[in-house]
Structure 1
């Protein structure tokens, strides 16, 4: 199976590298279970299953992080996506995966210059009045150079690394095949939904490599904050921007991690925390397009207690209905309405989730919400509440839709940023007005009328197409092509039981025939020519014993199941 996966990915050496790194960090058993050991043996590789002692002492989350770091940029990005799946992984895993830094050595400027010339249609020295050859930042997919436009405007150039797309695509193909193998060969890992995670990661990474899409998103966010002077999004210069190049205004501000400089500049930390929370909550609950990674590295503090947001490579999107559901759930947590919280979570249940008892889930959530009942709003730790709620989901093998996992991760990151600025930061109090506005807007006459018109339009469309659909149905019936499929689970199970019973009966008849035939052959005496028949009878006896044991074991297993 793995040999076919490697052939599909056309990257045998990369598969070998992955297996070697897994073995080095003590995951040799996983390599065996998914079939990589056989592939390595066919490739003539030596298998050293024992991990170095210092690596074996690492806790599993730390070992997985080290594995992802050693496997390179694509897998570092995968780890960052996994760090957003707070619904699948416990806090210690999320914390460890959150340490993955998207940093890489800078690419040689000669290759960068050649790509810039191709994208700009002219030499970069001609297009820009000044261009720094030393990058101010370098990551796995891109690096950033500072430059000056001919009119004197200071900008930054986010340049995609030359030749990175084929490397990433090869890794994505291999990851997709490995995810299929994991789900098939490692049942205990299925609860982490490897194929779903890889599919989500593939879409996210391909969007992130398209800098033109990132530019469009930045402009949409900037338009949403057009009336808010406290929030700045760098302007995009489309004359030079494209799929591999993002040219935007340079932000002259204080990095979000440099709190000492912010204090020295006389900025108000409490006000910065409130304005930052208000900005991200507006993106989440009002606009439906939000920065999915609002950590201090993507935030700058500006004079006048303003904030600038950069790097819109990872964003989340929420439909109007989803925003209402989020507001409903968060409001239920704050007000102690456990029934509402349970109903929303059951609506979010994925088709891949196993069947659970809704009454049991409601009971667990009721006990969870009850411990926060009558707690003053200022004393509520909303991020801790969400983390505890996600723990209940994990225990019930439930997962959030991908858009909501990004939302929860961004929410928790936002509260952490707020508490860095202000230890007394009250996320629940900041979120309450936004939640109330979303809930009220959903019940406003205009919103009700809009939903009514939408439902009426759907009903009218259905009625309009009804005669045509009935005509097609009647024509199919006249031609004898009308098929009906009824899928009854109980009958499927009955068929399986019937098949097992027939197999036991067949083996039982064969066993009985062997016993009778063996008894006849063993009674032959006298002529030495019949010695071979006695041997054949002896073999038949052993076959009868084996058949009888199989029938008994099959009956025993059937009763246990």
Structure 2
């Protein structure tokens, strides 16, 4: 019998951090998982070579007339780059749920993932095959025996770790049922341990100090532990519902009615349809989504860390329903204060204030040239307040370039939130393709003063 998990968010977070350290620590790897990786690598290369490389090469090298040597080398490099992206994508697909989850992270991390690979993962997302209906029924009976009396065998959504179906529970209520994919928890745990064995020696190299590979790995492990126990989904939803009651205009959080480690059911109101099948005006709910990920993080220290379009439903009254929170995160007050000061300095056109806030966040290495960083921030026209308030489409790219140039790092305490911001960015891009990320954050700017006041009151109280 699985031990229950605490309802208190901070106790849950402590337990998740402890389990993440276990999952992401060096140790004896699973022999079966090692064999899966050993097969996946050549399988991805062979699949790409046989299925795609010939056409890729012909497309890159064909054309009117003969290519001069420089153009031929350029075309060959493009072919090799595309082929490399292709076999990495196919290798990830061969690894099952954990490979698909990593592919999603690489796809969302625009600017950090090589462009060829990011473009390919956008065009051809890595998703495992749907779980067969009989396996879903077996999972329902194992985790919630007799509770789900009906379910639609055709899934509403298939993700690397979960599968979602419509269903009916014993009291006759319509629900949306999320089922953990068989083997997903063990596969994630084994892959994280294998990664820890590979990463641990790198921590001895001085040049990896700013990258913090083990901190990144343990942040991923914490997320994996949480997402593969759906009881956390129910607890997270309940906590956010109580915390943000009345503050989510145009958005409702669905009520969890059944929960277990492998299955969770959310109440589905009459007339609810998946967002992808509706013509709802999603822009009305964007401020609420921003509240869940950004405002709640800064003002309350808790945030939704896994926004996904497949969790959204349109309701007849024009509002949206969010069914679930498979991962939540927390920020300590000192980090929240420093990040608030950074955002205020960014939109206020204060490069010195930005550098000071970044330093307090722990993002600037001890050997960095602070004066040069401030000069580069001051010299970037894309970061001017006027350009930011007009949408700031190039601001993220410029900030990424500056971070790379000056060796800036994401503080370990912000790693989970950084991933949440990536999922928020991916969601807003999916819902409103023409909206830059800075524009999606603009509704927060007028509320920064109020958030700062609430944080000050919480600290003094």
TM-score (ref. length: structure 1): 0.61
Q: Is the contact between residue 191 and residue 397 of structure 1 (CA under 8 Å) also seen in structure 2? A: yes
Distance in 2 (alpha carbons) for counterparts of 1:15 and 1:423: 37
Q: Is the contact between residue 62 and residue 96 of structure 1 (CA under 8 Å) also seen in structure 2? A: yes
Match of 1:249 in 2: 267
Distance in 2 (alpha carbons) for counterparts of 1:116 and 1:155: 13
Displacement of 1:107? 2.9
Displacement of 1:271? 3.1
Match of 1:479 in 2: none
Match of 1:66 in 2: 90
Cα 1:55/1:109, change in 2 over 3 Å:
farther
1:298-447 alignment, distance < 5 Å: 298-349=311-362, 355-368=367-380, 372-373=383-384, 375=386, 378-381=389-392, 384-401=394-411, 402-410=415-423, 412-413=425-426, 415-416=428-429, 419-420=432-433, 426-427=439-440, 429-443=442-456, 446-447=457-458
Distance in 2 (alpha carbons) for counterparts of 1:348 and 1:86: 23
Cα 1:281/1:91, change in 2 over 3 Å:
farther
Match of 1:165 in 2: 185
2:161 to 111, 128, 141: 141
Cα 1:75/1:24, change in 2 over 3 Å:
same
Match of 1:197 in 2: 216
Distance in 2 (alpha carbons) for counterparts of 1:97 and 1:362: 35
| Structure 2 residues without counterparts, runs of 5 or longer | 1-25, 50-76
Cα 1:79/1:141, change in 2 over 3 Å:
same
Match of 2:460 in 1: 449
Give per-residue Cα distances to partners, 1:284-319, cap 9 Å, x unaligned: 333333233435333333233312223422333223
Q: Is the contact between residue 278 and residue 430 of structure 1 (CA under 8 Å) also seen in structure 2? A: no
Cα 1:392/1:423, change in 2 over 3 Å:
closer
Displacement of 1:133? 3.9
Q: Is the contact between residue 211 and residue 409 of structure 2 (CA under 8 Å) also seen in structure 1? A: no
Give per-residue Cα distances to partners, 1:155-214, cap 9 Å, x unaligned: 1222223344333332222222233466679x9988765444333222211111010011
Match of 2:61 in 1: none
Match of 1:499 in 2: none
2:31 to 2, 5, 10: 10
Distance in 2 (alpha carbons) for counterparts of 1:146 and 1:419: 26
Aligned residues: 404
Displacement of 1:224? 2.6
Match of 2:242 in 1: 223
Distance in 1 (alpha carbons) for counterparts of 2:359 and 2:118: 24
Cα 1:365/1:216, change in 2 over 3 Å:
same
Cα 1:398/1:279, change in 2 over 3 Å:
closer
Question: Rg: which structure is higher?
Answer: 1
| Structure 1 residues without counterparts, runs of 5 or longer | 28-52, 451-561
Cα 1:102/1:324, change in 2 over 3 Å:
farther
Q: Determine whether 1:75 maps to 2:104.
A: no
Distance in 2 (alpha carbons) for counterparts of 1:243 and 1:17: 30
Q: Determine whether 1:179 maps to 2:199.
A: yes
**Higher relative contact order (CA closer than 8 Å, sequence separation 6+):** 2
Distance in 2 (alpha carbons) for counterparts of 1:82 and 1:424: 17
Give per-residue Cα distances to partners, 1:387-418, cap 9 Å, x unaligned: 32122112222211213422442453365356
Distance in 1 (alpha carbons) for counterparts of 2:264 and 2:294: 26
Q: Determine whether 1:117 maps to 2:136.
A: no
Match of 1:31 in 2: none
Q: Is the contact between residue 192 and residue 221 of structure 2 (CA under 8 Å) also seen in structure 1? A: yes
1:23-62 alignment, distance < 5 Å: 24=46, 56=80, 58=82, 60-61=84-85
Q: Is the contact between residue 146 and residue 155 of structure 1 (CA under 8 Å) also seen in structure 2? A: yes
Displacement of 1:235? 0.6
SS in 1 for 2:326: coil
CA RMSD of aligned residues (A): 3.9
